[in-house]
Amino acid sequence: MNAAFARRAVDIAAAALGLAVLAPLFGLIAAALWAADGPPVFFRQQRLGRNWRPFPLYKFRSMRRAAAGKTGPQVTAAGDPRITPLGRWLRRSKLDELPQLWNVLRGEMSLIGPRPEVARYAHAYRREFDVLLAVRPGLIDPATLCFAREEQMLPPGPECEHVYLDEILPRKITLSLAYLKRRTWRSDLRLLAAALAPRGRRRKAHDGPYAPAAR
């Protein structure tokens, strides 16, 4: 069987199962968001997919409605006033990312692959993203583990975007490029298992083969 076809078949099956199993949790989160800050409960942001094709990435909304549509950094530091208390918890637990299973089902993303970026950041590293965007972006990649607490690594205020572009994004790119060079079904399964592991075991993965590149 063609490897790309097999990978896509696994993505469809896993995303469909995940959406079905997690539907009650989706309902609870949506109800909590609606009660806390009103609609909408989902947030859409344009990201770049395979071959630089833009697509709407879905998340549970974690920012205040008043922040929607306003200009500002497209990354967030700890204590960002745009984030609601419930949104802060969703971000810490990564539950805000679950709607991306819909992106996987639609074929815009894969379960495992380089994380999709916004166009402005990707164009700053055009040559590297030419390689990364030759495959579908993913819900999980090594940077998901290494930068699980990215918001704590970023300074508050306007500096956060510069730190992300100049320091954190290059390290993410290095991790993703290295992973793609040695990617196998087994490595994808190990990465998925590490992402689903309890937080303590996730820290071991952070200090092991998926550790951030040295600055």
Give me the residue spans of the domains in the chain. Answer: 3-207
DSSP string, 189-208: HHHHHHHHS-HHHHHHHHHT
d(CA 215, CA 204): 20
Helix (H, G, I), strand (E, B) or coil at 61: coil
Average pLDDT for runs of 10 along the chain of length 215: 85 97 97 94 96 97 75 77 92 94 97 95 97 96 90 86 94 95 91 79 46 41
**108 near 9, Cβ under 8 Å?**
no
Closest CA to 61 of 80, 81, 88, 28: 88
Closest CA to 139 of 112, 166, 158: 112
Answering whether pTM is above 0.85, one says: yes
d(CA 205, CA 215): 19
Phi/psi-derived region of residue 83, left when phi > 0, alpha when psi is between -120 and 50, beta in every other case: beta
In sequence order, the 6+-apart residues with CB closer than 8 A to the CB of 3 are none
pLDDT score at 200: 47
**62 near 80, Cβ under 8 Å?**
no
DSSP string, 126-176: HHHHHHHTTS--EEE-HHHHHTTTHHHHSPSSTHHHHHIIIIIHHHHHHHH
